[in-house]
Amino acid sequence: MLGEKICDSLPVGIIVFNKKNEVVAINKSAANLLEIDPSKHNEGGFLPLIKQTSLADYLFREDKAGLYRIGLGGKTLVGQKVKLNQDEINMICILIDISDWEFYWRELNEQKEMISELEDIFNSSYDEIFVIDGNGVARRINKVGETYYGVPVEEMIGKNVIELEKEGYFTPSVTRLVFQERKRVTITQKTKSGKHLIVTGNPIFNENGEIIRVVVNSRDISELLNLRKQLEDTEQLVESYRQQLLKLSREKIQSREVIARSPQMKRVLEMVDKVAQVDSTVLIMGESGVGKGVVASRLHKLSKRAGGPFITINCGAIPEQLLESELFGYEGGAFTGARKEGKKGLLELANGGTVFLDEITDLPLSLQVKLLQVIQEKKLIRVGGNKYIDVDIRFVAATNRDIQRMVAEGSFREDLYYRLNVIPIIIPPLRYRQEDIPALIEHFLGQLNARYETGKKFSAEALEILKNYHWPGNVRELENLVERLLVTTEGSEIGVGHLPEYIFEGKSRSPNRVYVLDICPLKDAMEELEKQLVAMAYARLKNTYRVADALAINQSTVVRKIQKYQLASPLDRRRGRRTRDKKEG
């Protein structure tokens, strides 16, 4: 009886079999596990009841005794057969319910997988993750920390951050600052291996407001600092080049001069010389290569600002994303890569002088507004700044495009156009001022002969052909061709045979011989054209009969036109030019 009580009190199931494999005893735990009622057993004992369960397949299988997993009524049991081979007892079966164990086992495996996953994430992070407990002791550091500190992270685990700071692993300790300030702290840090880090310490508090953990995130910024240093060096180099270019530009301005023999260019220069004395804004218009820059520099040289800077800004040559900072400058820290002390823009550098805005129509609409403000108010704001800087600038703009059409189309601001177009100066193309061509050739040839220490010249025939070429590239094309011919010609004279083929293909002047400078009443335009034609012919041919032949009109008409437009010199009038013309005719 005592043995039965002891067996019934055990938390495991016990089934006892005799030599005939009959169940001779079963405790309460086994009955509960098998869900059988011991009181209902018949003369056959418990065996019929057990055979109704899946346990029977296990018990009476001819195999070696050992642990066996049994699924029974939604439960998971582990059975163990123990062979005794005693006189009355053949085998004992021990049953244990591991259903709850399996749940915890699955939970444990899931936790292990999660921990493994977190370990992988923790160690594969590009940034360092450094975990410190509430006592300032290092508990975890991911693998990237080894590259930061130059030692295995295991050497640092278990040490206090104050101790690590003293040993020079990092300076200063962000964790120490977090404990002092009790809030998130971000600083830059230098490590034992020479790395520069940007670190952020994040405190974690318990319900009592105590710091129980500090999680530090660090990123190596050594490469960024190197790039920043390189950028600063590059900025300084660019600034040096910039100053040199400004100096060369001033020197070039002093050496440039306007060559004008034609009546058209003489009138332009008269206007330039008159306008130079005032500070009015000037808009120079003309085809590419006609010499707008030369005229702009003449305006500056003849003005009261001649001692100040002359800054040329090609609005189409500077990338749009850099144009604003180049024009207006920037404050320190205005954007990534900006110099700490900031930088003056070209407009600020031009203070007290003249700014020549070449290709003004290429200026983006967003910057046209800011430029208009500078012109109107004589002050500007740097990029990233919040205060106005006074500037004293005279503006000269230039374009080779139809700016009035752009205003009508909305691609150029109307208010800026009227601010720039206070005094318009239109430079005619080279093909409409033939008298300038020989003079320009002589000028360029003289400069090049001096530079290359040569003494070359053009033949009269070559000059005549060049004079009648239509020059789509204008003065710039002429200058480049003169240099090319001087360099490539072997002898001392540049003749017709040395001229490139395209000069002959386009030697006739353009059939569109009339160059319209601006819109005006048709009557005024016809009168101006008549005046220019008679003046040009009379200046070149020196004879009213020849002028009449060239213009296909009567000689008497020529005389009337000369008198009307007052084209005869005082000497001609005193000598009675008409009488002499008759004799010469």
Number of H helices, E strands in the chain: 25, 20
> Residue 382: CB partners within 8 Å, gap ≥ 6?
328, 329, 330, 331, 334, 342, 345, 348, 389
Task: Note the pLDDT of residue 248.
Answer: 59
Residue 159 and residue 161: Cα distance in Å, rounded? 6
Structural domains in the chain plus CATH codes: 2-102 (3.30.450.20), 125-220 (3.30.450.20), 242-426 (3.40.50.300), 430-505 (1.10.8.60), 522-584 (1.10.10)
Q: What is the mean pLDDT of the chain?
A: 81
- E strand segments, 142-300: 170-171, 185-191, 196-205, 211-220, 282-285
Answer whether 0.85 is exceeded by the pTM: no
Q: pLDDT tens, 484-504? A: 999 999 888 998 888 888 887
SS3 content of the chain, % helix, strand, coil (to 5): 50, 20, 35
Residue 563 has pLDDT above 70, yes or no: yes
CB 368, CB 329: distance < 8 Å? no
Q: What is the distance of C-alpha 257 from the center of its chain? A: 39
Q: Which of 73, 72, 67, 95 shows the shortest CA–CA distance to 7?
A: 95
**The pLDDT of residue 279:** 92
Longest Cα pair distance anywhere in the chain, in angstroms?
170
Give the helix ranges, DSSP H, for 358-473.
365-377, 403-409, 414-420, 436-452, 460-468
**Residue 437 token pair:** 């061509």
pLDDT of residue 321: 80
Task: Check residue 318 and give its pLDDT.
Answer: 84
pLDDT band at residue 508, thresholds of 50, 70 and 90? very low
Between 164 and 229, the more confident residue is: 164
pLDDT bracket for residue 86 (50, 70, 90): confident
CA 365 to chain centre: 19
List residues bridging with 257 in a β-sheet. Answer: none
More confident residue, 351 or 232: 351
- Per-residue pLDDT band for 507 (boundaries 50, 70, 90) equals very low
Assess whether pLDDT exceeds 80 at residue 244. Answer: no
What dihedral do alpha carbons 171, 177, 179, 184 form, nearest 10°? -120
Nearest in space to 337 (alpha carbons), one of 225, 220, 196: 225
The span from the first CA to the last CA of the chain, in angstroms, equals 165
Which amino acid, residue 198?
I
577-584 and 544-551 helices cross at what angle (nearest 10)?
70
Confidence of residue 421 (pLDDT cuts 50, 70, 90): very high
Residue 583 confidence (pLDDT): 45
Q: The tokens of 389 are what?
A: 């800087």
Instruction: Identify the pLDDT of residue 570.
Output: 55
State the SS3 of 387-417.
CCEECCCEEEEEECCCHHHHHHHCCCCHHHH
State whether residue 154 is helix, strand or coil.
helix
Across 117-126, 144-153, 272-281, 546-555, least confident range: 117-126
Backbone angles phi, psi at 164, to 5 degrees: -65, -35
Closest residue by Cα to residue 354 from 273, 265, 269, 282: 282
pLDDT on residue 196: 86
- Single-letter residue type at 576: G
- For the stretch 108-112, contacts whose Cβ atoms lie closer than 8 Å and that sit 24 or more positions apart, written own/partner, are none
List the structure tokens of 432.
Answer: 């409409």
Rounded CA-CA distance 424/558 in Å is 32
CB 77 within 8 A of CB 95: yes
Strand 13-18 and strand 128-133: the pairing is unpaired
- Report d(CA 153, CA 146) in Å as an integer: 6
Distance CA 278, CA 276 (A): 6
Distance of alpha carbon 361 from alpha carbon 315, whole angstroms: 8
pLDDT of residue 575: 54
Can you tell me the distance from the alpha carbon of 376 to that of 226, in angstroms, rounded to the nearest whole number? 43
DSSP conformational letter for 383? B
Which pLDDT does position 413 carry in this prediction?
Answer: 93
Query: Comparing C-alpha atoms, which of 500, 489, 482, 499 is closest to residue 443?
Result: 482
For residue 511, the model assigns a pLDDT of 43
Q: Could you tell me if 345 and 326 are in contact, meaning their C-beta atoms sit under 8 angstroms apart?
A: yes
Q: Cα 92–96–98 angle (5° rounding)?
A: 155
pLDDT at 23 over 90: no
Q: Are 126 and 148 in contact (CB under 8 A)?
A: no
Give the span between the Cα atoms of 555 and 562, in whole angstroms.
11
Give the DSSP letter string of 99-137: HHHHHHHHHHHHHHHHHHHHHHHHHH-SSEEEEEETTSB
Alpha-carbon gap, residue 379 to 370, rounded angstroms: 10
The torsion angle over the Cα atoms of residues 563, 569, 574 and 578, rounded to 10 degrees, is -50
Question: What average pLDDT does this structure show over 164-170?
Answer: 88
CB 246 within 8 A of CB 222: no
Query: pLDDT per residue over 381-416, tens digit each?
Result: 998 888 899 999 999 999 999 998 899 889 999 999
Quick: pLDDT tens for 114-137: 877 777 777 777 788 889 998 999
Q: What is the pLDDT of residue 96?
A: 83
